[in-house]
Amino acid sequence: MPGMTYPAVPSPSGLELAAFRALRYVESVAGPLGPLTSPPYDVIDADGVRRYEAMSPYNVVRLILPREPDDGRGTRYDAAAALLAAWRAEGVLRADGEPALYAYEMRSGESVTRGLIGALALVDPDAGIVLPHENTMAGPVSDRLALTAATESNTEPIYLVYDGGGVASAVVSDVGGHPPLATATTEDGIEHRLWAITDPQILAAVAADLSTRRAVIADGHHRYANFRRHQADRHAAGAGPGPWDYGLAFLVDATAFGPQVHAIHRVVPGLPAAEAARRAAAGFAVRRLDDTDDGLDALANAGKGGAAFVLAGPDGRWLLTDPDPAALAAHLPPGSAAWRALDVTVAHHLLIRGLWGVTDDEDHVWYRHDVPAAESAAAEHDGTAVLLNPTPVEAVIAVAAAGERMPRKSTFFTPKPRTGLLLRAYADA
What confidence tier does 411 reach under pLDDT thresholds 50, 70, 90?
confident
Residue range 327-346: mean pLDDT, rounded: 93
Closest CA to 136 of 221, 232, 216, 42: 221
Q: What is the pLDDT of residues 100-138, one digit of tens each?
A: 999 999 998 888 999 999 999 999 888 889 988 777 777
Q: What is the pLDDT of residues 317-332, one digit of tens each?
A: 999 999 999 999 999 9
Q: How many CB atoms lie within 10 A of CB 67?
A: 12
Q: Where are the alpha helices (DSSP H) in 153-199?
A: 167-174
Q: How many CB atoms lie within 10 A of CB 407?
A: 18
**Residue 115 parent element (H or E):** strand 111-121
Label residue 183 exposed, middle or buried (CB < 10 Å: 0-12, 13-18, 19+).
middle
Domain-by-domain residue ranges, the chain? 17-261+415-425, 264-389
Residues above pLDDT 70, as percent of the chain: 97
Tell me what pLDDT residue 9 has. Answer: 60
State the Cα–Cα distance between residues 107 and 57, nearest whole angstrom. Answer: 27
With contact defined as beta carbons under 8 Å apart, do 45 and 61 qualify? no
What confidence tier does 7 reach under pLDDT thresholds 50, 70, 90?
very low
Number of H helices, E strands in the chain: 16, 21
Report whether pLDDT(392) > 90. no
With contact defined as beta carbons under 8 Å apart, do 328 and 346 qualify? yes
- β-pairing verdict for 246-253 and 158-162: parallel
Tell me what pLDDT residue 387 has. Answer: 97
Backbone angles phi, psi at 102, to 5 degrees: -115, 120
What confidence tier does 1 reach under pLDDT thresholds 50, 70, 90?
very low
Q: What is the pLDDT of residues 138-197, one digit of tens each?
A: 778 899 999 999 999 999 999 999 987 899 999 999 998 899 999 999 999 999 999 999
Tell me what pLDDT residue 406 has. Answer: 83
Q: What is the pLDDT of residues 42-92, one digit of tens each?
A: 889 899 999 999 999 999 999 999 999 887 788 999 999 999 999 999 999
DSSP string over 195-258: EEE--HHHHHHHHHHHTT--EEEEE-HHHHHHHHHHHHHHHHTT--SSGGGEEEEEEEEHHHHP
What confidence tier does 18 reach under pLDDT thresholds 50, 70, 90?
very high
Mean pLDDT score of the chain: 92
> Which one has a higher pLDDT value, 396 or 212?
212
What confidence tier does 295 reach under pLDDT thresholds 50, 70, 90?
confident
With contact defined as beta carbons under 8 Å apart, do 429 and 22 qualify? no
State the Cα–Cα distance between residues 367 and 347, nearest whole angstrom. Answer: 13
Amino acid of residue 112: V
DSSP string over 246-307: EEEEEEEEHHHHPPEEE--EEEETTS-HHHHHHHHTTTSEEEEE-TTS-HHHHHHHHHTTS-
C-alpha distances out from residue 98 to 4, 101, 425, Å: 10, 10, 14
Closest CA to 367 of 404, 302, 411, 425: 411
C-alpha distances out from residue 60 to 35, 105, 155, 191, Å: 9, 19, 9, 18
With contact defined as beta carbons under 8 Å apart, do 177 and 103 qualify? no
Tell me what pLDDT residue 4 has. Answer: 54
- β-pairing verdict for 215-219 and 191-197: unpaired
Closest CA to 255 of 172, 161, 338: 161
Please name the residues in contact with 357: beta carbons below 8 A apart, sequence gap of 6 or more. none
Angle subtended by helix axes 200-210 and 167-174, to nearest 10: 130
